[in-house]
Copies of this chain bind each other. A is one copy, B any other.
Amino acid sequence: MFSPVSPVRAYERVVEQIEAAVFGGQLPPGSHLPSERDLMTQFGVSRSTVREALRVLQSNGMIQSRAGDPRGPLVLAASPVALHKSMTRLARTSSMSLGELLQFRMLLEGSAYLLAAQLHTASQLAEISAALDTMTTATDYTAFSDADVAFHDAVARATQNTMIIVCSTVVRGVVLDLIEDHLAHATDRQALMTRYLKHHTEVLEALRARNGSLASQLARRALYDSYASYLPEADRAMLTPLLEN
């Protein structure tokens, strides 16, 4: 009959109102909030309360305060940094395993290649191809790795799907964070690079032929081959269902 209630703090109300204004289109990205002292009269609360609200919004990546700026706090464009942060946090506290992340990345990239194969434009294909060229001619591992990232980014962008782009970037970043110590001690870095190049060449070929299912399968297989070894034996079973076509 009745539903539970919880006390609503003043700063939460302030957050809600500002959030609503940002989502509602008043306060577009690039615009500025009134100064803290203005806000405290508008909301009828003290500056501490206003500041706590602004801290929350700032930690969510919605605004940015600069000391001394007479224009007030800046409203930021939506960006995936907050998403990245919370995902990293979740992954760090081991409530999300590397296996889960790899599983997700396989289904994400698998679908990305499927879509990219059918939807890509000539310039997008050229971009992907250029990234592969850079990888081929890269001398040190850092340049190679950067080009690798560019390759995957270009494929994700070719899908034209924001969610795929963002999630791919974030998940890839978190996965790399989790295994970076393994990579640092890799002795066979040269063999690794060779294998990567082979995979990427094959998948680019499939993209060019607009063979979506082939590209997708190659991508998932490549991910499995590259990362399964970092997983406990038992966890690899959760990836194999994604290898079938």
Contacts and interface: CB of A to CB of B under 8 A. Distances in A.
A162 B212 CA distance: 27
A16 to B, nearest CB: 13
A209 interface: no
A111 B115 contact: no
Interface of A: 7, 11, 23, 48, 51-52, 55-56, 58-62, 67, 77-80, 82-83, 85-87, 89-93, 95-96, 100-101, 103-104, 107-108, 110-111, 114-115, 118-119, 160-164, 166-167, 171, 212-213, 238, 241-242, 244
Contacts of A167: 163, 167
A167 B98 CA distance: 17
Nearest to A92: B23
13 contacts: A48-B48, A55-B56, A55-B59, A61-B86, A82-B90, A85-B86, A90-B162, A107-B107, A107-B108, A110-B111, A115-B242, A118-B241, A163-B167
Given A48-B48, A119-B241, A89 B95 contact: no
B52 A96 contact: no
Contacts of A85: 60, 86
Of A23, A52, A244, most B-chain CB atoms within 10 Å: A52
A164 B106 CA distance: 12
Given A171-B163, A242-B115, A90 B83 contact: yes
B55 A104 contact: no
